[in-house]
Structure 1
Amino acid sequence: MNASDIDAILAATLEDRTLSAATENHENVLVSDDPRLVLPFCRAFDDLWTALE
């Protein structure tokens, strides 16, 4: 997989789905189409998916 093969957007979040999280936590969201971020994430995801097969 090369950067030129990527036509994707990375949307990653570290979010706690509890009531207290909505009022007390500092949540974050990352959205990017930068291949320097998307490509390593895609490779890591593919490695994890392959390991589960």
Structure 2
Amino acid sequence: MCTLMKELGLTELIPAMCQFDYTMSEAGGVTNFVREYTLASGGSYCDCGYKKKFK
């Protein structure tokens, strides 16, 4: 996603797209989105993942 946004000249929107991952996970209500690094914040990789919520 980061590469595509850069190619489209939309670099200013990349942080919002990264934040949207958390928003969508919360909207689903079943998982928590977890991530420590992003390409957009200067990380060498994006380590995104999901963890199931327990009741």
Fold conserved between structures, TM > 0.5: no
Flag the structure with higher strand content.
1
Normalised TM-score (structure 2): 0.30
Normalised TM-score (structure 1): 0.31
Which protein shows a greater Rg?
1
